[in-house]
Amino acid sequence: MNQRFDDDMERMLFTPEEIDHTVHRLAGEILTQYLDKPLTIISVLTGSLLFISDLIRLLPIRLHLDFIGTSSYGDNTTSSGTITITRQLRLGVKERHVLVVDDILDTGQTLSQVVDIVRALHPADVKTCVLLDKPSRRTVDIKPDFRGFAIPDLFVVGYGLDYAEQYRNLPYIAVLKESVYRS
């Protein structure tokens, strides 16, 4: 079977160049904020993998990097609402300034629960950064401190984002054809 996946995409939403431009802008904003502070970045796995690896290369400051694993989606495109922690934090954050980085803010359940987990560890401060934001889907009162793109209520894949663990390696962000997840 041919494993190429380009035909599964309805349309491209953000090109690699647009993503690159936005990641540079976010890095500039983050740098200004944390130039003189001890920073710990917490990347929410797995979707933020490509975003975090591009972002941290643009931050020429001393920082700690940790990961937290969460899972809220099964093999479908609707959040279950229940967040499972699949990988625990390994580094202490006491008195450090924490930036939680995720790929997408949808209902807000994931990010708000991760922020609660981090707050319980007594950091100096916790802020959030997301590449994509779907504000119309929010069920929890949370706004990202740093935001790449605001998007409408579309299910998107690529640049780390998956559908049923596929398409994370797409270098752009795309809307998936409905026929792919309805089949």
Q: How far apart are CB 131 and ligand XMP at their closest, in Å?
A: 10
Judged by CB under 6 A, the stretch of 7-15, 57-65, 92-100, 109-117 that binds ligand XMP is 109-117
Q: How far apart are CB 134 and ligand XMP at their closest, in Å?
A: 6
Q: Does 133 bind ligand XMP (CB under 6 A)?
A: no
Catalytic residue among 36, 106, 116, 153: 106
Query: Please, which residues bridge with residue 43 across strands?
Result: 67, 101
Residue 27 vs 133, nearer CB to ligand XMP? 133
CA distances from 97 to 12, 31, 40, 138 (A): 35, 13, 6, 26
**What angle do helix axes 49-56 and 16-34 make, rounded to 10 degrees?**
60
Contact 142, 163 (CB under 8 A): no
Assigned token pair, 102 = 């995720």
Is 102 part of the annotated catalytic residue set?
no
Phi and psi angles of residue 118, each rounded to the nearest 5 degrees, phi first: -70, -45
Judged by CB under 6 A, the stretch of 33-41, 84-92, 107-115, 116-124 that binds ligand XMP is 107-115
Note the residues at the interface with ligand XMP (CB under 6 A): 44, 47, 72-73, 79, 102-111, 155-157, 161-163
